[in-house]
Structures are given as C-alpha cells and as structure tokens.
Chain A
Amino acid sequence: MALNGNLRLAISSDGALFEPTLAFLRSCGIGVSRSNPRRYIADIPALPGVTVLFQRGADITPKVEEGSADLGVVGLDRYLERRSGGGDTNIVIDDLDFGRCRLVLGVPDSWVDVVSLADLADLSMEFRQQGRDLRIVTKYPRLVERFLLRSGINLFSLAHSSGTLEAAVAMGFADMIADVSESGTTMRENRLKTISGGSIITSQACLIGNHRLLRGDAGKLDTAKTLVDVMEGHLRARAYYSVTANMRGETPEDVGRQVLEHTEISGLRGPTISKVYSEDGGGWYAATVIIRKQNLADAVNRLRQAGGTTVTVSHLNYVFNSTCEAQERLTGADQGRGDFC
C-alpha cells in the first residue's frame, strides 16, 4: 500500500472511539478496508488517495501536530488536553456526532458534606491547614488544572495517571478523580459521585487537521476537501427527513400552493411535485419536502390537513450546501475552541 503522497487520516486503534469511528466512516459511505486486523494501516476503497493510520487515541493529537498524519479523528477532550497553543493543528469538524462524554470531577460518595465546587474550594483550604494537599488523579492534568484555578480552587495537587483512575481513591493514592464519564455508571460502581458545577468539559469526537501540511500539498488538500465534504454532508443530513405525501390537485402548481401555505412543511427551499399515475384516474401528485427531524409529527399533521395521504418518511444520506464550511477550515487557523477550554 503506497503511503507517499496519500492523505493520512489517523483514527483510534483502541478505546471508546475505535468501533464508532469505523461505523461513522461506513455511514458516510467511506468505509475503511483493512486487509488484516493486525495491520495498522488501511485504505478507503471509495476514496482513493487516503491512507488510514490506526493509532492509540492518546497519540492522535501529537501525530497530527508533528505532521505524521494530516487529519485525525479524536475526542475533543484529548485534543484540548494535548494540543499546543499556536501549533499547526485546528479543529476542522467540531462534532462528528459520536463519542459523547463529559470530563467530570468525582469525589467519594461518603463525602456527604461535599456537593458543589464551593465545598471543594473550602475543603482544599481545610486540607492545607492540616498540612496536606487535596490530591486529584487524572489523565487530563492540563484541562483539570485550568478549570480548577478558574473556579477559584487554588490549593490542590494533580497526579497524572493513564491507568484505571477509580481505584486510586480506594487505595488512598488520591482524594478524588477527574475523568471522562459517559453515563456515570463506572463512577457509581466505584463509589464516586459527581458534584454540582463539577463538569469540566463536554466532549465528542471531532476531526482535526494540520493546516500547515495541507496548505503545502495541493493533492492532499483536494482529497481532504472531498473527505470533509462527504462528512459534513452526511452530518447535516442527520438533522432531516425526506417526507413524501400523495395529494390531490388540479395542477402541480395547485399542489405546490397547498403545501407552501404551511411554513412547517414548505421544506428547505419548497416542495418537489411529481405526477402520480394512479388507477383511479388523474389529479394525484406526490409532494416531497425536506424537514427537520424534530418537526416530523407537526409536518405530518399539516400534510394531512393540506389533503395529503400515504405520507412516507425516509432518512437522508447527504445534504450538500452550495459551500462546505469544513473545507474552509482545512487551511485556516482555528476559529473554534481554542486555548481556553
């Protein structure tokens, strides 16, 4: 498999993002083909010119930063923890709609006196008066430190750990933890609880890129543009349904007017009307509109009120706008979440 000149996309080889990343790329129509599960490189048959690199999740940000990958799918939490301020990377698509989690503070459930950040600030001072630090173990020292200092909690020490954090408290190695949590179940199972205001960041998978490398290679940039266009089009489509209803009318214009009378069902631009050749004679048309998913029930009711029958609803695979926002960000500086998260 030729690597030279190909766009290199780094994705997780392990952890919570491994399967969802492959599923996401598959759903975008650019599934990864890996000849052998032990190989760490693969390709995307539908998009020649891309080499997929399987990397440890924690390594993807530095790999893109140092230039050994051009793009990477990574958790926003890991990116903000590892990125260099003023470096060559930026966020190209900030929400790939999977890998959602929160980085939260977890304290022992026996701390019935601690329910908020204010309690934690108070407790840290009490610890200091007793001559010890409030010790917090985390994989995210940078994000946690900034968060605590900005929350007015100044007296603490951080211990970095890449292993299982929850045990550190039970072992007496730390007083509390800061870790990612999807549902809070692992925390509860380890007798830890979250506190009010103790959510450090909400995170999800995002696409990052090395804009310096992409600016300097027209071939890779073209491939990257196609890749992000497909991703953005697919993500946009997830917000919509295509709804088709059979409607009676004298002419297509007549049916169009009936639909446009209701803004809820007028779609992105307006309805598409086509003739239905039915056994019971003429006068039937199919009106198709694209509507937001949350408006579905309302739209179906409106279509019925407008005389619609046999309403069918379909998922969309892609919605492409006239321009692709992510393409702009491939070569530009990060305008999104920066140094202060």
Chain B
Amino acid sequence: MSNNASIHEAHHPGPKTFIIVWIALTVLAALTVYIAQFHFGDWNVVVAMVIASVKATIVALYFMHLKYEDKLTWVYALYPLFLLFLLISSTIMDVFTRVPTIH
C-alpha cells in the first residue's frame, strides 16, 4: 500500500529543528555525566537509562524522521525493542528465580 507522491514535501523538519534536537542531545549527555558523580544507588541506572532513552527517542523521531513515517515503519521500529525486552527480562527472571538444589 503506497503513499501518494508528495513524500518530499510538508513532513520534513528543517535545520532549526535539527539544531534544537542537537542542543538537547548535548545537554542531556552532559547531564548524564554530571549526575553520574552522585551516588543514588540503583537509581543511577534508572536515571541514566531514562535520559539515554529520551536521547534515542529524539534521534529516532527527528534525525531518523520516524515521527513522519507510516504505521508499518513504526511497527518494525518498535517490535524489535519488545523482543529485546522479552529476551532480557526472561533471562533475568530465570537467573534470579533459581534455587540451589544441592545444599
């Protein structure tokens, strides 16, 4: 099912958007480094991953143009992430619910 021909027209972010995104990325990167010097225990990972995900999301949405892509592309952009989540969570679940059988 193909879209109509006006692909190169209205849905393109321009240099202004890109500069804003880039500044945001740089600020977030600096923020990640800055926060890392404080010790919040397990929360360090969470905060770092949240910030990383925000960065990855704006790279995908704007630099990679995902915001303007069709549903099919979104499905294939997101489904691998779901599978990754499945792989990681299941293997962790297995490792951490093992009970030693030899005492």
**B is a partner of A:** no
